[in-house]
Structure 1
């Protein structure tokens, strides 16, 4: 399943597939969406960027 788009509403980033169905939601926890690809999305929280897969699982943490 691929990420088609991501929208931010309130304190969550909502991930959608090509059909417009919600795949998952990822809490921003005071952070901000930095960007997304067809397989991941990046959220900056404090001094780190958290990379999540299309299911919302954290796959990498990078110092910002």
Structure 2
């Protein structure tokens, strides 16, 4: 986990890859924090006929602040 606050736009939607890069965590860890411990919430939107997971910038910052 990064010690530096992630630079995000609070209303922007970030992909799994972008969220992991911002927080400097592995995607397996992000999955755990999302599905097992519910420490960070995700949203879903349709792209090309399939559902795609995203994380709001505000959720990323809220999660980061709880971890530090």
If asked which structure has higher relative contact order (CA below 8 Å, sep 6+), I would say: 2
Choose between structure 1 and 2: higher strand proportion.
Answer: 1
Give the number of the structure whose residues are more often helix, by fraction: 2
Query: Which protein has the larger Cα radius of gyration, Structure 1 or Structure 2?
Result: 2
TM-score, normalised to structure 2, is 0.29
